[in-house]
Amino acid sequence: MNSQFSIYNELTMNTKEILLKAQKEGYAIGAFNAANIETLKAITLAAKKLNSPIIIEASKGEVDYIGKTQLVDLIKDYRNELNIPIILNLDHSESFEECEEAVNAGFDYIHFDGSKLPYDENLKIAKEIVKMCHAKGIIVEGEMDHIQGSSADHTKEKPDEVLDKTLYTDPKKAKIFVDETGIDTFAAFFGNLHGLYSTEKRLKLDVLEEIRNLLPNTFLSLHGGSGIDNKDIMTAIKIGKIVKININSEMRVAFKNALKRSLNETSEVAIYKITPGAIEEVQKIVEGKIKLFGSENRAS
């Protein structure tokens, strides 16, 4: 058996190494939501073409749609076939039980989002999840300040019309949260609203810088990655040593628009002959992000 295959098949301990490599070498790994087999195909094709590590994100809706064990098996298959690092992450999970099921199914990374819960409850559950996950070498991401918006087309609004800047992460409170819970990755809110808006989102980079200074050993993730000003993204990777950037809305919009076009233009009924255009458009988005995040040719 090719020894490199086994590295990526037994990912649980290697997730940390993959993230540490990104932090050390100064690039971020794209965390792309897999909504269906077509988007999973688009993401993996892009990653293979550019020889990049990737994180596959599956939210509750996506996990329910594809299936937990099915996702785990698909990722194992793609790892073996493509021989690149692929991390499977449960995205924005809001319950201990759901995290536990994902851990048992074989996910590599768990994002517990208790940001809508009272602080003490978030803290308590996050601690329990860390205990459960660390016993199996699984990375845990935590969230304290709810990242506003949703992964959708909000292009009728400007980010500033939706953003409540008073809800941005307080770096000192973030340090307490990370220290108390023991999470590996912290998801901060500093302008990175979820979704696509009529103008580009701008980041409050001094907040990020302060978080980085107070949490030198914590992985930092950037949610709401769609439609953020490219320069802000590059500065965030540089000064914040961001290792994970979540992208969903841009892929959703690209998929839907391309699929609509194909459906309008064809009388074909074989689905696999209708979807390639949508796969291609999503792949283009993913390739652009991989290049922007600097993870091209970092798969080995």
Supply the minimum distance, in Å, between the C-beta of residue 278 and ligand G3H.
Answer: 17
Give the closest residue to 105 by CA, choosing from 139, 77, 140, 63. 63
Residue 111 counted as an annotated binding residue: no
Among 41, 201, 212, 223, binds Zn ion (CB under 5 A): 223
DSSP-derived pairing of the beta strands 194-197 and 54-58: unpaired
Smaller CB separation from ligand G3H, 38 or 62: 62
Give the closest residue to 106 by CA, choosing from 93, 88, 91. 88
How would you label 72-86 residue by residue, b for 16+ Cβ within 10 Å and e otherwise? bebbbebbeebbbbb
Residue 146 counted as an annotated binding residue: no
How would you label 31-53 residue by residue, b for 16+ Cβ within 10 Å and e otherwise? bbbbbeebbbbbbbbbbbebbbb
* Catalytic machinery residues: 91
Residues 244-263 as x/- pattern, contact with Zn ion by CB under 5 A: --x-----------------
N- to C-terminal Cα distance for the chain? 18
Residue 134 counted as an annotated binding residue: no
Residues found near ligand G3H in the complex (CB under 6 A): 57, 91-92, 151, 194-195, 223-226, 246-249
Are 204 and 163 within 8 A, CB to CB?
Answer: no
Smaller CB separation from ligand G3H, 133 or 187: 187
| Burial tier of 103 (Cβ tally within 10 Å: 0-12, 13-18, 19+) | buried
Q: Which does 247 bind (CB under 5 to 8 A by kind): ligand G3H, Zn ion, none?
A: ligand G3H
Smaller CB separation from ligand G3H, 15 or 248: 248
Smaller CB separation from ligand G3H, 224 or 294: 224
Q: Which does 249 bind (CB under 5 to 8 A by kind): ligand G3H, Zn ion, none?
A: ligand G3H
Task: Verify binding: residue 111, Zn ion, rule CB under 5 A.
Answer: no
Are 254 and 14 within 8 A, CB to CB?
Answer: no
Which residues are part of a known binding site? 92, 113, 143, 194, 223
Which residues are part of a known binding site for Zn(2+)? 92, 113, 143, 194, 223
Enumerate binding residues for Zn ion (CB under 5 A): 223, 246
